[in-house]
Amino acid sequence: MGLGTVAVTGAAGNIGSVVRGALRSQADRLVLLDRVPLQAQAAHEETHVVDLRDPVAVESALAGADSVLHLGGLPDEAPLPDLLEANVLGTQHVLEAARRAGIARVVLASSNRVTGFYPTAHRTGPREPVRPDGLYGVSKVAVEALGQMYADKFGLSVICLRIGSFEEVPTEPRHLATWLSPRDAVGFIRAALTAPPSTRFATAYAVSANTRRFWELPEEAVLAYTPVDNAELHAARIAGAHAPSDPSAPQAGPYALPENTLKHIRP
């Protein structure tokens, strides 16, 4: 299935850079947004320097797109005002621009950390109550809520991907459960961009086919993609991979520690 015109926010980021290369041969036009300058690498690429906090600039850059992949924002724990501005307000500007332009599909980058306090022994599904492991997770809960509201109230088709640990290869014990390989990231994103128009709203974990994964894989009716990579194949090269684990420990690992958030809260 052709992708038409795809707009990608955060196109200079780690995931954005990989997805850009993968979608280049599948999209009729790629519209690439970031707050840092990008150079077009093909005739059908179009680049924009855009601050997602500027709704007018966002709307102008997204004009004419058939779908939007929204990857832009702060990617980790930070002071809450910064997260609200970059992640929540920025997402609202993207969704509002999509509503105004009549864009058919918006794919939002959420995070596994919206459920980081579930224990590692629990296989978590997307319909369970959120348990964010910090302020970053809270901002992504709000991102999902905005997507749901725009779907329910304005009829946008929105898919939220709860992205795992995006790495070239897994490098630490937690990654044996949470790793998302570049190949599988592209697979999930393409499936989300091409899901049936009748999909009004969906939330799914984007994680590789890891033997130790914490999260349910999406049902085919939601996302027609089956991951192919398994972090277990890299376990022999990861220190501590076979050490006993605490099944009651939070899935977020060190992200769930109080100090990970306290350092971003004004004393």
Residues 163-192, mean pLDDT to the nearest whole number: 98
Q: Angle at Cα 175 formed by Cα 173 and Cα 178, nearest 5°?
A: 135
- If one counts the domains in the chain, the total is 1
| Residue 267 confidence (pLDDT) above 90 | no
Q: How much is the pLDDT for 150?
A: 98
pLDDT at 123 over 80: yes
The C-alpha angle with vertex 26 and arms to 23 and 32, in degrees rounded to 5, equals 40
What are the residues whose beta carbons fall under 8 Å from the beta carbon of 1, sequence distance 6 or more?
A: 194
Q: Point out the least confidently predicted range of 1-10, 46-55, 165-174, 244-253.
A: 1-10
CATH number at 13 reads 3.40.50.720
pLDDT given at position 13: 97
Supply the mean pLDDT for the chain: 97
User: What positions carry a catalytic annotation?
Assistant: 136
Does residue 206 belong to any structural domain of this protein? yes
pLDDT band at 59 (very low <50, low <70, confident <90, very high): very high
Is beta strand 5-9 parallel, antiparallel or unpaired with respect to 67-70? parallel
Give the count of beta carbons closer than 10 Å to the beta carbon of residue 141. 19
| 136 phi, psi to nearest 5 deg | -60, -45
Is residue 178 one of the residues assigned to a domain? yes
Query: Is 241 within a domain?
Result: yes
Can you read off the two tokens belonging to residue 86? 């970059």
Confidence band of 1 (pLDDT split at 50, 70, 90):
low
CA distances for 52 relative to 39, 45, 167, angstroms: 19, 20, 25
Please give the Cα distance from 130 to 116 (Å, whole number).
8
Within-domain flag for 186: yes
Would 267 be classed as within a structural domain?
no
pLDDT at 6 over 90: yes
SS3 151: helix
**Position 107 confidence tier, pLDDT thresholds 50, 70, 90:** very high
Alpha helix segments (H runs only) across the chain: 14-23, 55-62, 80-83, 90-101, 135-154, 175-178, 182-193, 258-262
Band of pLDDT at residue 2, cut at 50, 70 and 90: confident
At 235, which amino acid appears? A
What is the domain range of residue 169?
5-262
